[in-house]
Structure 1
Amino acid sequence: MGVIEVDRARARGPRVIPDRPWADIMLDEAVLAVQRRNVEAAIPLLAATRGDPEVRALRIEALSRAAVGMSRGIESLIARDQANPDLWLWLGRTRIEEAFEIKPEVKARAVQARRLEAYHSAMESARQPLVTAAGLMPADPVPWESMLWLAVGLERPRSDKDSVWYECARRWPTLYPANVARLITLSPGWGGTATEMLEFARTVVAKAPEGSPLPALIPLAHFENVAAERTPMSRGGWFGFDAQREIVAAAGQWSQRRIGPAHPRSIEAHNAFGAAFFLSDLRRPARGHLTRTGGRFSRLPWSHLGGEPENQFQRACNKLNVITN
């Protein structure tokens, strides 16, 4: 799939592929199969990831979101294969995604006590499957990455989040989604501070291995920082000059390191940089990164802009005359 810039792009708009920020055809097919309630289609896809935590984490996340409402089906698979770590991991992460679907809005919590109780119960139900998965594959960091989101979802004390991060990082310190989860636990919106969050992002990026999209933590950190203070009525630009300069430097660092096959999270990183450059009115680099998404947008950072991420992504593509074909 290529992407071109044309004068009539505003009329046609981008060909958007909703919530599939990856270049993995087999995962596309498995997600469709699971959405059609064929949960068995995921089994070989997950088994093939046991030696690659980055691909494993991506596929678990994608297939869990596809399986929302179908955790009972995964339980049935486990009943036939109770020693399968892939299934326990999938069940735990699916329960997390199911819980997030029923999480009450903050403003409504006072009048939705029952729903909040149901949310906490649903989220807590993910713990045992994830612990089981971790026990079956002790070297696997992905159950711990999921437990980071569990700690975020339950708003656990900082010490709990730190201990889960330690277990994940000592197994695979450069796991992209785990570093994103850690960034969020340190963000002002989740009880951390801008200083600590940005220091973490900069330290990780400075040590990022060749080809890793971890430099995208820089724009994501700046999004988290601004979003914590921004309101729907806020006016003016998102990023000041210093933030823009740091984002430009991080983008350059990543592009210089991108040698060999693309990282499984490259499209997510292109979304992060593309959104940041778009909001900074840096049209050429914004267009370059959004072109490389192939019309596949990620929830972060577009959800920070308000409304549906798809609408924000499409708006940016329209303004930059970027379409897919």
Structure 2
Amino acid sequence: MQKDSGDPALAQVRAAAASGDWSAVREVLEARPESEDRTELLWAVGDTAGVERWITGVLEAEPEAALPRLVAGIRHISWAWEARTSARAEHVSREQFEVFHARLRTAEEWLYEVAEREPRWISPWYGLQITGRGLQVGQATARSRFEAAVRRDPRHLGAHQQQLQQVCKKWGGSHEEMHAFARAAALGAPGGALLGQLVAVAHIEQWLSLDGGADYAYMMRSEVKDSLHEAAEHSYRHPDFVRHGAWNQVLNSFAMAFSLAGERGAARACFEATEGRATEFPWSYMNGSHPAAAYRTQRSATGL
């Protein structure tokens, strides 16, 4: 299973982070400017165990540098969720929540420092969207962080994905707000943009929120199918669609949504375009332990 876009730089930066080689980590990150979206590379570092131990020395050695603070901030976000775990809130202890919130507050300190030092960078604002949700800063503050991100990159998929989560019912929003945001962002972007994925993810989110039976009945609604096709036409089916960035995750998302909606032909086309490469998201919603198994099952159902 492919957890990412297949970018070879990801393997490089993970290996460097695991060995505590800051020089190599910095080289990979600096080779990918903010204008080309390096959030995936940053998360590869942030998800690597042990970074929190060696990054402290880098911060002390480079007190004026923004990049080490950005790495420290992103690592503290991932480290915070490691403490919280993915369990439902009622199954997370008070001690776990205390560690979770403490690490998120530390992440916010680093990220705000980066935003001040590098006002054009989008990565710190993307990170602040995530810390804000964990710290429950409220919808108004969350919206302002999203707006700060998209002022720097109007079509940044990650920032839009985070705002979609923010307006989901499970995070204090509503299904109506979620779908309205997804559709406006997707159709308001130029043809071929990756933002069409938001419509597919919004329907998957609502499917996930419903009980057995009602979930599939929802996906089979004609208006759901119509909105998926509308978004697909404006996104990956558009002649201006280019395979860059998170393109494969976009196709995997539509493959899952069309499969759930019983649109076998549309799902098959998406699976063919992925060339057998599953992404962890969104298939982890269907099978958290084995996302690739969910991909293979649905792919086989289309006759491939």
Same fold? TM cut 0.5: yes
Corresponding residue SS for 2:17:
helix
* 8 A contact 1:85–1:137 mirrored in 2: yes
Change beyond 3 A, Cα 1:236–1:194: closer
Question: Which of 124, 138, 156 pairs up with 1:157?
Answer: 138
Q: What amino acid maps onto 1:24 in structure 2? A: D
The 1-side partners of 2:58 and 2:193 are apart by 34
Shift of 1:237: 4.4
Deviations 1:72-125 (Å, cap 9, x if unpaired)? 222222333233322211211111011112215225447x11112111112222
Q: Which moved more, 1:210-219 or 1:35-44?
A: 35-44
Contact 2:18/2:50, CA 8 A, preserved across alignment: no
8 Å Cα contact 2:253-2:282 kept in structure 1: yes
2:169 maps to 188
Match of 2:211 among 230, 239, 244: 230
Deviation at 1:317, TM superposition (A): 3.3
Q: 1:175 to 1:319 in 2, by over 3 A?
A: same
Structure 1 residue aligned with 2:10: 27
TM-aligned CA distance change 1:207 to 1:294, over 3 Å: same
2:267 counterpart residue number: 286
CA contact 2:13–2:41 (8 Å) conserved in 1: no
Q: Give the alignment partner of residue 40 of structure 2, picking from 55, 58, 62.
A: 58
Q: Distance in 2 between matches of 1:58 and 1:258?
A: 26
* Residues 149 and 132 (structure 1), Cα distance of their counterparts in 2 relative to 1, 3 Å cut: same
SS at match of 1:68: coil
User: Quick check: 1:43 aligned with 2:58?
Assistant: no
CA distance in 2 between counterparts of 1:249 and 1:42 reads: 41
Are the aligned partners of 1:69 and 1:98 in contact in 2 as well (CA < 8 Å)? no
**Aligned-partner Cα distance in 1 for 2:60–2:127:** 22
Contact 2:207–2:215 (8 Å) recurs in 1 = no
Distance 1:72 1:293 in 2: 38
Question: Is residue 180 of structure 2 the alignment partner of residue 208 of structure 1?
Answer: no
Distance 1:252 1:80, change over 3 A: same
Report the 3-state secondary structure (helix = DSSP H, G, I; strand = E; otherwise coil) of the residue aligned with 1:263. Answer: coil
1:169 to 142, 146, 150: 150
Post-superposition CA distance 1:147-206 (Å, at most 9, x none):
001111222212221221221122222111000100110111111011111111111112
Counterpart CA distance in 2 for 1:290 and 1:224 is 20
Identity of aligned residues (%): 22
SS of 2:245's partner is coil
Shift of 1:305: 1.9
CA distance in 1, matches of 2:14, 2:254: 26
TM-score w.r.t. the length of structure 2 is 0.89
Q: CA deviation at 1:223?
A: 1.3
The range that moved more, 290-299 or 172-181, is: 290-299
5+ unaligned residues in a row in structure 1: which ranges?
A: 1-15
- 1:4 equivalent in structure 2: none
CA RMSD across the alignment: 2.4
Higher RCO (CA-CA < 8 Å; seq separation 6+): 1
Shift of 1:318: 4.0
**Aligned-partner Cα distance in 1 for 2:181–2:36:** 21
Give per-residue Cα distances to partners, 1:50-75, cap 9 Å, x unaligned: 24253x1222223322x233222222
CA distance in 2, matches of 1:259, 1:23: 21
For the 8 Å contact 1:187–1:193, the answer to whether it is kept is: yes
Counterpart in 2 of 1:131? 112
Gaps of 5+ in 2: none
- CA 1:297–1:86: 2 relative to 1, 3 Å: farther
Q: Kindly tell me: are residues 258 and 26 of structure 1, through their superposed partners in 2, closer, same or farther at Cα, counting changes over 3 Å?
A: farther
Equivalence for 1:5: none
What amino acid sits opposite 1:28 in the alignment? Answer: A
Cα separation, partners in 2 of 1:161 and 1:53, compared to 1, 3 Å: farther
Residues 293, 91 of structure 1: CA spacing in aligned structure 2 closer, same or farther, 3 A cutoff?
farther
Indicate how the Cα distance of structure 1 residues 125 and 289 shifts in structure 2: closer, same or farther if over 3 A, else same.
Answer: same
Q: How many residues align?
A: 301
The normalised TM-score by structure 1 is: 0.83
Give the match's secondary structure for 2:60. helix
Letter in 2 for 1:79: E
After TM superposition, which residue ranges in structure 1, 4 or more long, deviate above 6 angstroms? none
